[in-house]
Amino acid sequence: MFSMSALFLTGLVGLGSVSAHAAESAPVTSANDTATLVTDRDAVGPDQHLRVGLHLQLRPGWHTYWINPGDAGDAPTLDVTAQDGATGRGSAIHWPVPVRISEGGLMSYAYVNDVLLPEDLALKSTGQGSGGTTLKAHAEWLVCAQVCIPESGDFTLTLPASSGDAPPGAQAELFHRADAAMPLPSPFAASVAGDGTLTLEGQGLSPSAVKDAWFLPQDGGVIDQVAHQPLRVSEGRVALGLKFLKTAHRDAPLKGIVVLRDAAGQESPLQIEAKPPVGGTAAVPASQAGPEAVPASVPQNSDVPAGMAGWLRVLAFAFIGGLILNLMPCVFPVLAMKALSLAKMGGSGRQRQIQSALFYTLGVVGAFAVLGLLMIGLRMAGSAAGWGFQFQSPGFVVSVCWLLFLMGLNLLGVFEVTPGRLGQVQTGTGHLGDMMTGLLAVIVATPCTAPFMGVAIAGALGGPPVVGMLVFLCMGLGLAAPYLLVAGIPGLAARMPRPGAWMGMLKQILAFPLFATCVWLLWVAAIQRGADLVLITAGGLVLLGFAAWIFGVSQHRAMRDGGFGEVLFCRFVAALCVVSCGVALAHNVQSLPEPETTAQTAEAGIEPFSEARLAELRGQGRPVFVDMTASWCITCMVNERVALDVSSVKAAFSARHVAYLKGDWTNRNAAIAAYLKAHGRDGVPLYVYYPSDNGAEQVLPQILTPGLVLSTIGQ
């Protein structure tokens, strides 16, 4: 007969503090937790079997994660090796049963208070030295409260030799309590149907013995982890209704922990591997099910955002954000291409105007679709990719710099392959040029985040992939909407200036915003990889300039006397220059080290952001202004020049003793990415003000003015 009390889960939380001694390493301490490496024995004998573990003592309100962190988070890792008189390597972590944390429509499987994550370590004597061993370990873990902070530690623990097997040490009790928190092998037959019904069958299961139950999946991406799990109990059978994700492999075994709770509240965690029956099975018929008991501790299903109305709101925000993106500084360089296209509309027929707008829209929306697929795919693969993430790649920054430089030379007339003419050669209508203009608009727009886009991008990356793609497509439609509007309303298109000689002058003038953007990207490259990358980028600009000039010379020669052989040689040299740039970039950029400091964190009165420093300042009662920025974010740079780096705001910060913490996301940074995610953002800028009275934080808009900043801090 199955005994519920025999399987009672104890010791998951409140393991208690144990004083340091030989079987415990020096602690790694932060504002959020204390971590040590512990062993179950104070010494080691020849070929001793040892148990070693990461002991985390978490501050109130903080948690870390299970092997399956749930909808968000990351599992801890522990790598232990033994050396000197005895050698060996630690096994995989044995995972205690976690608690469930449901928040914001997401489910996490976590550990709170104290937890020990043990491993097995089989030692083999080397016959050298005293016979003792020195353990070296490296661990990484993520702790979360309102924000998430990645932490890590390196531990060293030396154990002396013992003539025989060493007895249990002073830390052995920690391992006994961790063992009590482990799931036990299930004594019941487990199976799962194609519709998600998980069934346990065997003696001891009955409506009087099982009052509540829930399932914790060992692997993510299998079931909707936050969905309600309806329970049906009958004599000898327990059935839980799970909601499979559409991407789950339903013919694979379902692994995880089923927790059964009896009438007295005692819980029994059982490790199960439920195999789908041959040929599949349907749900348990109602006639076979006993009284239904709905686990009170299992949250009801909630979509993010909730319902159709919520998703329509996100789609509307995506469209509005894309529309406002036209006014952001990032897109100004592409206004050159737009201005020329609009100017040409004045002398075009109605059909050509509409076709131009449609193909420009196709380029914009297509680019957003590719960007959406890439970001959603990276997120599903576990990468923390956010809006503008591609500008964290030095190779991408340099490539865009070179592209804009070539476009500027094209506008100046160094060579005559314009997007429109290229399109005329291939399609007869210039449609390729319109599409390329739309593609370029998206490329240079991604460093900026417009108002309303934060909610839209968070919804796109946190919801179903299909709806996420709709969000990105709506952003593309918003960015293309003004051009569609001008082309679609006959009165507006007819009022555009007629083409003339003035267009040649306008074309040349508009080359200089592109060159200014190249200077900015050169500065970004310097911050990302220092002077070496600047040298590569500047050398590439010279080489591309030579390639553009020699290509232009070949064009003039071909138009003048048709010297085919000479023209072919010139174009071969130009192509060789372009290929040389690509080879130099691919060969060198990844090997360049990141600078130790950046201009963003070296300014007077500004400290680099860290969660530990933020917590310290708030503990002192000081007001704190957090600025999440990046050198490739033009909106961030404009806000800094216009609203933050001005005398009135600086004086107010000084007078009110406001601490200014700046997080530089120019290069990838997990702590900054976690802070952004905790505030519902997937890109910069983000401005957060923490008052001195430890009141609620205030998130500022993405477009700042001095008056807005001053009013926020109460000046």
The answer to whether 637 touches 701, Cβ cutoff 8 Å, is: no
Type of residue found at 147: V
pLDDT given at position 624: 93
Q: What is the 3-state secondary structure (H, E, C) of 500-535?
A: CCHHHHHHHHCHHHHHHHHHHHHHHHHHHHCHHHHH
For residues 540 and 156, give the distance between their C-alpha atoms in angstroms, rounded to a whole number.
48
Q: Does position 275 have pLDDT exceeding 70, yes or no? A: yes
pLDDT given at position 345: 57
Confidence of residue 86 (pLDDT cuts 50, 70, 90): confident
- Could you read off the pLDDT of 220-260 as tens digits, one per residue? 888 888 888 999 999 999 999 998 887 777 777 899 999 99
For residues 236 and 288, give the distance between their C-alpha atoms in angstroms, rounded to a whole number.
11
- Could you read off the pLDDT of 461-496 as tens digits, one per residue? 556 777 778 888 888 888 888 878 877 776 665 566
For residues 532 and 90, give the distance between their C-alpha atoms in angstroms, rounded to a whole number.
42
Closest CA to 211 of 259, 271, 255, 254: 259
Classify 161 as helix, strand or coil. Answer: strand
The phi and psi torsions of 492 (rounded to 5 degrees) equal -70, -45
Residues whose CB is less than 8 angstroms from the CB of residue 536 and which lie 6 or more positions away in sequence, other chains included: 398, 584, 585, 588, 589
- Could you read off the pLDDT of 179-219 as tens digits, one per residue? 999 999 999 999 888 888 899 999 889 988 899 999 999 98
Classify 460 as helix, strand or coil. Answer: helix
How high does pLDDT run on average in the chain? 76
| 511 or 286, higher pLDDT | 511
For residues 361 and 367, give the distance between their C-alpha atoms in angstroms, rounded to a whole number.
10
| 159 or 556, higher pLDDT | 159
By CB neighbour count within 10 A (0-12 exposed, 13-18 middle, 19+ buried), where does 247 fall?
exposed
Confidence of residue 336 (pLDDT cuts 50, 70, 90): low
Residues whose CB is less than 8 angstroms from the CB of residue 569 and which lie 6 or more positions away in sequence, other chains included: none
Dig out the tokens for 472 from the structure: 């990105």
Residues whose CB is less than 8 angstroms from the CB of residue 204 and which lie 6 or more positions away in sequence, other chains included: 1, 2, 3, 187, 188
Q: Does position 172 have pLDDT exceeding 50, yes or no? A: yes
| 597 or 404, higher pLDDT | 404
| 416 or 612, higher pLDDT | 612
The answer to whether 292 touches 230, Cβ cutoff 8 Å, is: yes
133's enclosing H/E stretch is: strand 133-144
The answer to whether 86 touches 38, Cβ cutoff 8 Å, is: no
Dig out the tokens for 55 from the structure: 């002991």
Q: What is the 3-state secondary structure (H, E, C) of 699-712?
A: ECCCCCCHHHHHHH
By CB neighbour count within 10 A (0-12 exposed, 13-18 middle, 19+ buried), where does 495 fall?
exposed
- Could you read off the pLDDT of 195-204 as tens digits, one per residue? 888 999 998 8
Dig out the tokens for 29 from the structure: 């301490």
Closest CA to 299 of 101, 495, 480, 470: 101
For residues 378 and 413, give the distance between their C-alpha atoms in angstroms, rounded to a whole number.
41
The answer to whether 372 touches 446, Cβ cutoff 8 Å, is: no
Calculate mean pLDDT across residues 286-307. 35
How many CB atoms sit inside 10 A of residue 287's CB?
Answer: 6
Residues whose CB is less than 8 angstroms from the CB of residue 456 and which lie 6 or more positions away in sequence, other chains included: 314, 315, 317, 318, 321, 471, 474, 475
Dig out the tokens for 258 from the structure: 């089923």
By CB neighbour count within 10 A (0-12 exposed, 13-18 middle, 19+ buried), where does 437 fall?
buried
- Name, of 126-130, 478-482, 626-630, the range with top average pLDDT: 626-630
pLDDT given at position 165: 78
Q: What is the 3-state secondary structure (H, E, C) of 621-685?
A: CCCEEEEEECCCCHHHHHHHHHHHCCHHHHHHHHHCCCEEEEEECCCCCHHHHHHHHHCCCCCCC
pLDDT more than 90, % of the chain: 18
For residues 326 and 344, give the distance between their C-alpha atoms in angstroms, rounded to a whole number.
20
- Name, of 9-13, 315-319, 497-501, 666-670, the range with top average pLDDT: 315-319
The percent helix, strand, coil of the chain (3-state, each to 5) is 40, 20, 35
* CA angle in degrees (0–180, nearest 5) for 203-206-207: 175
pLDDT given at position 423: 35
- Could you read off the pLDDT of 654-693 as tens digits, one per residue? 888 899 999 888 777 778 888 887 777 767 788 999 998 7
Is cis: bond before 118, omega within 30 of 0?
no
For residues 485 and 96, give the distance between their C-alpha atoms in angstroms, rounded to a whole number.
60
- Name, of 124-138, 191-205, 513-527, the range with top average pLDDT: 191-205
Q: Which domains does the chain have, with CATH numbers?
A: 28-181 (2.60.40.1250), 185-274 (2.60.40), 308-591 (no CATH), 606-713 (3.40.30.10)
144's enclosing H/E stretch is: strand 133-144
- Could you read off the pLDDT of 10-22 as tens digits, one per residue? 333 333 333 334 5
pLDDT given at position 112: 92
216's enclosing H/E stretch is: strand 212-217
The answer to whether 357 touches 488, Cβ cutoff 8 Å, is: yes
